[in-house]
Structure 1
């Protein structure tokens, strides 16, 4: 595979040289480097007169490489070509046009002029996109959030992993793998009330390289734009919520995580809704079964253990769902409450005479089952229980932050209800526990995305977006 990749790279270089030798015109950009959102001027010279030319922007498309919607290989990119605009040359074979740099990945991009899609370019130039970051506000009430948005992130290893620090403590990372270099991260406004420091760092190892802005050969984090802010945390108008989960997405179960039926039949299962937290009221409908037939319905969990090298497979859980009798048309309908279980796709099978004849699934989403107590003196033991934490690698290691400081993770494989005990620490007042997705294991070693809170989980997480879970505890005098 390495030889094939090398051969491909050699072919690309040879093709570029051939294109340069046959190029007949000149393309000049007003800037060699720019930020997303900047306007640059492109000038074409020595081109065919009175001719329409396509201005081609060459970039990449990013995605997470994931096997079986479970094992995360790493960030992967493939070439993507976009027609930025079409211009007409004048009688002297010239044109000039202002153009805004689109939301895209950082690094060098080639711009070509073409009249024929299959022919060599008439001219080309390059421009490098420099990553930059903006903060939505510099003042927020205690318990609310600041939002950092990054533009032009990646795709190269050195520029696609940025770390967020609060008061010189690293919270986690943000990346723009699947969102064309744009990513958002929310940072909790934690106490005490007053001034705090928020900063963006960069390093492929997943932790800040402290010479980013002084002696890095790759330049400052944002190429001269702001990467650190002094922010103000103010008194809240009302008490923070003690426990809440971010809005979840309407999503379907993943076929890769459902077993195939033992026997192919006309029978079908349909569930509504297809997703939700434990306790969701659902309706399971069966059609195409034999008339007046007993059907055993079986709920499945996933069991196994990566560390112990025990394969993770869907396993039936007796007693969760009942048996039903189809009507004279071979149909049935069952209302039931989704139980607490490991998260992600929960298969449901319909069995006749010990064989499964139809399969569906329910996408089980996370919930905060309980937090108790929610107030007490420093040192109080806080018992926390979560359910619906998934077993796949991209979601089984939810990571806890206490007042924006990373503490550790829980494993969605260990139990249907994940329980932990934290000790309240800090001065009297409100303190915050935020639980974010992370990646338990990534096959690619660089950059390092493993077991670090993924702060851009909403718009750049592998497979599917996952919600953050948020809690608050009040330390009393």
Structure 2
């Protein structure tokens, strides 16, 4: 090692410090310049008026709806006082009816308890932990609409599995409250007998969720595990993570003899989409025109009746079906296209009735049907196509049997263009419906011991722009309450392996 004398060394150190100070000053200036003026004002005010540590809680953590005793000191005597909490609200952000941006959260202040300080400036009582997201929260005490003290409180998630036993095909529901909203605590991952099954979320339901799977495997006990995992898989050594104190629930489900009554192939009823689903563009109707369908959703080839009134009298009306065509992976792009279903003449009163079958087309968000006369749109309505099982053959056979399956009514958006397949609760891959205009035709090889084996298709998110957490290309087991965009149902199939 070469020796550097003291004087040259000192000069070198001073030069380096000067460079670092200049760089730091520039960085601080850039950071400050990018902050809104209001932000700087808030930070300055927070610095000048530090909050007191004057709130004592009976416990520092707990679960949703727990009762917590509190005592506050150093208050203005005999003056009104309130305890408040920073609640979080979640939703999915979607652009242009099809693109998933990702989860979005907003914060609001809610009142936990109100009262009056006593003559000594003290106040005590009990508050209930609000229903909502879990995680770390701040409890503030306020007087004259001003925060004067604070304390932290942690809400832990809770988990309940129902039922705990049943035959193959039994629906298992895991109910959760207090799931987190932060990056690390937002996504939970479920395994069944050490096989990855899918994603558990509660973004739009503010921490409350229900995950649904079906009991699969031989008679006996089967292990179900839930762990956090913001990168799309379980974080296994969670005890060595930055959050080793968080719950890591394990359950055992006991499979009994026989098969569940719901073992037959079926598409579940359409659930409720997250936050009530997408708000479709407002339909345009000419003056006095009314358009109605006998039902606003149905499966391919299901009979539908269209009725309309207030149209031009004795006039030919073209029924124009709007759809999307294209592909996300071919490089050719995609866009809206139209096709003529038929032309129908109105009667002398400007009314029409038209019976037709649901077109063999994309499912997911609704299609618009235009009623056009002489090139002008007179009225519109929406029709949504639901998934349906068209083919499943054979239903039984030995190991190695190739099972042919066709589903119609798959979607095209980033939240409904794909289904995610599990075999006996092991995730195997996804199926995309856009390029095939809603048709999903595929095969599965029968494996496993003699008996029934489950093939389940779950909704999920194909793509998202926000990359802080990975929710893409995996089954979303909380699809029934927290799937964004459109209410896509799960599809339940079963194959019997014979000798």
**Is residue 468 from structure 1 mapped to residue 498 from structure 2 by the alignment?**
no
Tell me if structure 2 keeps the 8 A contact 1:155–1:177.
Answer: yes
Shift of 1:167: 0.6
Query: After the TM superposition, which of the residue ranges 233-242 and 40-49 deviates more from structure 2?
Result: 233-242
Q: Secondary structure at the match of 2:457?
A: strand
User: What TM-score do the two structures reach when normalised by structure 1?
Assistant: 0.90
Spell out, residue by residue over 1:173-215, the C-alpha distance to the aligned partner (whole angstroms, 9 max, x if none).
1111111111111121101111111101112111112111x31
SS at match of 1:430: strand
CA shift, 1:279, in A, is: 3.9
- Structure 1 residue 93 corresponds to structure 2 residue 93: no
CA contact (8 A) 1:379 1:425 kept: yes
For 1:409 and 1:440, how far apart are their aligned partners in 2? Answer: 9
CA distance in 1, matches of 2:32, 2:477: 37
Deviation at 1:381, TM superposition (A): 1.1
Aligned to 1:149: 175
* 8 Å Cα contact 1:265/1:358 also seen in 2: no
Match of 1:84 among 90, 93, 112: 112
The answer to whether residue 77 in structure 2 is matched with residue 52 in structure 1 is no
Kindly state the Cα deviation for residue 414 of structure 1 after the two structures are TM-superposed: 2.4
- Could you tell me which residue of structure 2 aligns to residue 398 of structure 1? 419
Indicate conservation of the 8 Å contact 1:295/1:352, yes or no.
yes
Q: Does residue 1:302 correspond to 2:324, yes or no?
A: yes
Which of the residues 461, 466, 472 maps onto 1:439? 461
Q: Displacement, 1:265?
A: 6.2
Determine the structure 2 residue equivalent to 1:74: 102
The answer (yes or no) to whether the contact 2:54–2:150 under 8 Å persists in 1 is yes
Shift of 1:72: 0.5
User: Which runs of at least 4 in structure 1 moved beyond 6 Å after TM superposition?
Assistant: 1-5, 250-253
2:287 and 2:335 map into 1 onto residues whose CA distance is 24
1:253–1:362 CA contact under 8 A, matched in 2: no
Look up the match of 1:429: 451
Give the C-alpha shift of residue 249 in structure 1: 4.7
Segments of 5+ residues of structure 2 without an aligned counterpart are: 1-29
Contact 2:169-2:259 within 8 A present in 1 as well: no
2:151 aligns to what SS in structure 1?
strand
Deviations 1:196-248 (A, max 9, x none): 11101112111112111x311211441xxx61122211123666532111122
Q: Could you say what the CA RMSD is over the residues aligned between the two structures, in angstroms?
A: 2.7
Partner of 1:346: 367
Tell me the distance in 2 between the aligned counterparts of 1:250 and 1:455: 14
Contact in 2 for aligned 1:242/1:473 (Cα 8 Å):
no
Q: State how far apart, in whole Å, the 1-side matches of 2:474 and 2:330 are.
A: 22
Matches within 5 A, 1:410-425: 410-415=431-436, 416-425=438-447
Residue 175 (1) aligns with residue 201 (2): yes
Compare 1-10 and 70-79 and name the one that shifted more: 1-10
Provide the residue aligned with 2:240 in structure 1: 215
Distance in 1 (CA, whole Å) between partners of 2:44 and 2:393 is: 66
Larger-gyration structure (1/2)? 2
* Aligned 8 A contact 2:156 2:246 in 1: no
The number of residue pairs the alignment matches comes to 465
Q: What is the 5 A alignment of 1:277-288?
A: 277-288=299-310
List alignment gaps of at least 5 residues for structure 1: none
The structural deviation recorded for 1:39 is 2.1
Partner of 1:110: 138
Instruction: Indicate yes or no: 2:477 matched with 1:455.
Output: yes
